Amino acid sequence: MTFSVYIGFDSREPETYRVAERSLLKHASIPVKVIPLKAEKLAAVGLLRRPHDTRGQRYDILSNAPASTEFAISRFLPLILEQTGWAMFVDADVVFLRDVAEVRRLADPRYAVMCVKHKAQNDPSMKMDGQVNLQYSRKNWSSVMLFNCDHPANQRLSLVDIQERPGRYLHQFGWLHESEIGELPPEWNWLVGLQEKPENPAIAHFTLGTPELGVQSEHDDIWYGAAA
């Protein structure tokens, strides 16, 4: 069966999305359907109606907090859009280094959502592209997710919740109990610039910014290699 992978899309970084999609398909050994989460299209069909202010940094009014990307909230829509089976979400600023079939095989039906459960990081207060880097519990957990769309616990999350709940509720999986959140191996969401490089990374996540934004890191060769 085709595996749906949703990738965040930010109109400020079209090349970043292209690199993520290209690297995903390059390594994939299974049929993959790639869906970009484009805010403009989602808003046009009524799936993303949250009020926001774009004067300066994008600001999510319901959360009373800045949103560093256009897909800060839409990342939870795959649960509504897919309805059944497993689906994956990844931030735009990732590079796949291994076959997505490997993480699909880790899908455990006991869990509603699976992710890398990062410990609290000593993050800078600002991202390197000038965006505010908010601190909160379970930070970065929602940047790579496997959704079990058939799990009954996910029925607690409705489209109304996605439209109206504060971002902190969604990013901290507020609709789930701790026992309903499964753990992925850390190599499936390596935070470049914040963590040591794993021995065999599967996803390099340039969470502080990609070279497209002029951000430099010691692992830029990975991003440029995927972009070539």
pTM for the predicted model, two decimal places:
0.89
Among 36, 50, 81, smallest CA distance to 166 is for 50
For residue 29, list its beta bridge partners: none
Domain count, the chain: 1
Given this model, what pLDDT does residue 113 score? Answer: 98
Interhelix angle 14-27/220-227, nearest 10 degrees: 80
* 64 φψ region: left (φ > 0), alpha (ψ -120 to 50), beta (else): left
The tens digit of pLDDT for each residue in 67-93 reads 778 999 999 999 999 999 999 999 999
- Nearest of 95, 80, 98, 99 to residue 37 by alpha carbon: 80
Top pLDDT among 50 and 87 is at 87
Of the pLDDT bands very low, low, confident and very high (cuts 50, 70, 90), residue 147 is very high
Take residue 80 and report the two structure tokens written for it.
Answer: 């509504």
pLDDT in tens, 95-124: 999 999 999 999 999 999 999 999 976 655
Q: How many other C-beta atoms can be found within 10 angstroms of the C-beta atom of residue 43?
A: 13
Q: Look up the domain containing 158 and give its range.
A: 3-227
The mean of the pLDDT values for the chain is: 90
Type and span of the H or E element at 42: helix 39-44
Q: Which of helix, strand or coil describes residue 159?
A: helix
Q: Are 179 and 164 in contact (CB under 8 A)?
A: no
CATH number of the structural domain spanning residue 50: 3.90.550.10
Give CA–CA dist 190/196, Å, rounded: 8
- In the sheet with 144-148, reading across from the earlier edge strand, the strands are 32-37, 3-8, 86-90, 144-148, 113-115, 181-183
Beta-bridged to residue 30, according to DSSP, are none
